[in-house]
Chain A
């Protein structure tokens, strides 16, 4: 595998992943499906290969919090029986990983927190029901920053996940476990959640494809809530085709989620055309800032140049309130989180402080010992922003600037069809490097926050590597419910390059 030392402009050619040359765990979902359909491989062999791979590398990558191998093998056996009976549903026998903020009935769901260490959900999220209805195999639950709050997975109360491209570095966050599991071939597909960038940023840092859908596209029923007006479940894949496939399965109206939009889901596979001729790609000048890693800018601009060569029209646009997205997000998200996390009081589930003197002491101590530092910080920030005397200056103000951020996009989309820009300002940083400075950590999200605040779909896919061999991500943002155009631009770029065929050496 090509690795390290290669500048983004010169790279040694690596053969694209061909089914016959790849080990089973290295397959993409679409490659596995053709081999399953033709009978060349069985679902049992495929899931066994994934489990073997996990056993081989996960003590170093540490992507998984909980593994469910026996259940996975049984699901695989059932999938084989169904294939044999002539059934063919989109994910039949495909082994997937699920971020541990998504409820899975009977399987511990910790949200990366000690406060839910022993929590076993009595129900599964809608997305899980949809995956199971499509025949998917669930391998286990992946690591996450606690309650999805973080950009490195270092805030997990259990352990940090390591970036498969360089084990001394973070995979990004908060869906770092899922992104790393994909990059390390420890699953064929994965789900994550994205509130301010938590699918896109780890996708960029781990060199995989990740999408955050339009707000309301995918049901949040069964997603443990962090910030209700921002949270969305997203999919990870080894390539755009896989990411789109998973998105198709999980998308759709759900009456159990009052923020779910009743709008038909387009055929995302049909959108994957390698043709961008005549499409207008907006390049926002505010997304190329001082302080970003020069190689990231070089790689992203090279990607934009390639898209221009392929026939797209490049349009210079401005999103003037981009820099304000950071304080807006870090007021609104914590404010919503302070309300959503009030339920963790040790009464109905989770950790409960055993020797409290009275009910208030019980709440204080349960939350003091159950929550980690970042969670406490955000609850405090949010509580302050909503409190009497400060609500207008902080929360209301932030909501008003949120309107301006949305209006920036509305104006930009009069001039372009999608927006292309970097996903993250740097490649993967070292574990521990930003852990002591929360504000530094928050700056990793500067390019992903705006799409969340505006409710727009955003995707990250690999567009190169830096001098250390670390992946660089290209972000594509679209209009509401215009995932098809986002996916099309992504697919066209991907098929004209081979970044997606490169794998870390583990």
Chain B
């Protein structure tokens, strides 16, 4: 198979998605199959071909650096799972 179990665990950790043992096995098989299918791209010579990140000719679309009204704080916090004193409450980042 294209992916080892360790690689599946590594990717899951990069993506911060917890997986059960069954999911690790299932995804190892399914992702390997998809990646094997994607091997067909290697048969194309792309040495002189630029990559397309976006189909539009637009680049660096900016707006003037002017302060504009934002969402009111209550609206911003309205969906918060935990909030306190007008802040989002999160788990400790630093020890």
Contacts and interface: CB of A to CB of B under 8 A. Distances in A.
Size bin of chain A's contact surface: 35 or more
Contact of A360 (B7, B16, B40): B16
Contact of A349 (B30, B46, B80): B80
Please give me the 4 A-B residue pairs with the lowest Cβ-Cβ distance, nearest first. Answer: A455-B55, A368-B18, A399-B51, A352-B81
A327 interface: yes
Given A331-B38, A360-B16, A400 B31 contact: no
Given A347-B88, A347-B90, A359-B90, A399 B52 contact: yes
A234 B69 CA distance: 30
Interface string A29-40: 000000000000
A406 B17 contact: no
Contacts of B78: 120, 122
Interface residues of B, number: 50
B58 A396 contact: no
Contacts of B61: 258-259
Given A122-B71, A229-B55, A380 B37 contact: no
Contacts of B26: 373
B67 interface: no
A330 B91 contact: no
Given A331-B38, A376-B27, A350 B79 contact: yes
Contacts of B40: 323-324, 327
Contact of A367 (B18, B44, B58, B76): B18
A352 B18 contact: no
Interface of A: 118-120, 122-123, 215-216, 229, 255, 258-259, 261, 321, 323-324, 326-328, 330-331, 338, 342, 345-352, 356, 358-360, 362-365, 367-369, 371, 373, 376-377, 379-381, 383-384, 387, 393-394, 396-404, 406, 438-439, 442, 453-455, 480
B17 A401 contact: no
A119 B80 CA distance: 9
22 contacts: A118-B79, A122-B76, A258-B58, A347-B88, A349-B79, A349-B80, A350-B79, A351-B81, A358-B91, A359-B93, A364-B17, A367-B18, A377-B31, A380-B17, A396-B51, A399-B51, A400-B50, A401-B41, A401-B44, A404-B49, A439-B37, A453-B55
Contacts of A376: 17, 19, 23, 27
A376 B55 CA distance: 27
A162 B63 CA distance: 44
Contacts of B12: 380
Contact of B27 (A259, A346, A350, A380): A380
B79 A367 contact: no
B33 interface: yes
B11 to A, nearest CB: 5
A400 B79 contact: no
Nearest to B76: A122
Nearest to B3: A384
A327 B33 CA distance: 11
A229 B52 CA distance: 10
A369 B16 CA distance: 12
B51 A403 contact: yes
A346 B81 contact: yes
Interface in B35-86: 35, 37-38, 40-42, 44, 46, 49-56, 58, 61, 63, 71, 75-76, 78-82
A442 B31 CA distance: 13
Name, among B26, B53, B71, the residue most crowded by chain A CB atoms within 10 Å (CB to CB): B53
A328 B41 contact: yes
A324 to B, nearest CB: 6
Contacts of A118: 79
A29 B40 CA distance: 46
A215 B23 contact: no
B84 to A, nearest CB: 13
Contacts of B63: 255
Given A347-B88, A373-B23, A455-B56, 9 more contacts: A327-B41, A348-B79, A351-B81, A362-B91, A363-B16, A383-B11, A387-B11, A399-B51, A439-B30
Contact of B71 (A123, A321, A323): A123
B79 A216 contact: no
Given A364-B16, A364-B17, A259 B58 contact: yes
Contacts of A360: 16
B15 A338 contact: yes
B15 A379 contact: yes
A397 B42 contact: yes
B63 to A, nearest CB: 7
A367 B91 contact: no
Contact of A379 (B7, B17, B30, B91): B17
A401 B55 contact: no
B90 A229 contact: no
Contacts of B18: 364-365, 367-369
B41 A403 contact: no
Name, among B8, B18, B27, the residue most crowded by chain A CB atoms within 10 Å (CB to CB): B18
Contacts of B92: 358-359
B21 to A, nearest CB: 13
Nearest to A352: B81
Nearest to A443: B37
A397 B16 contact: no
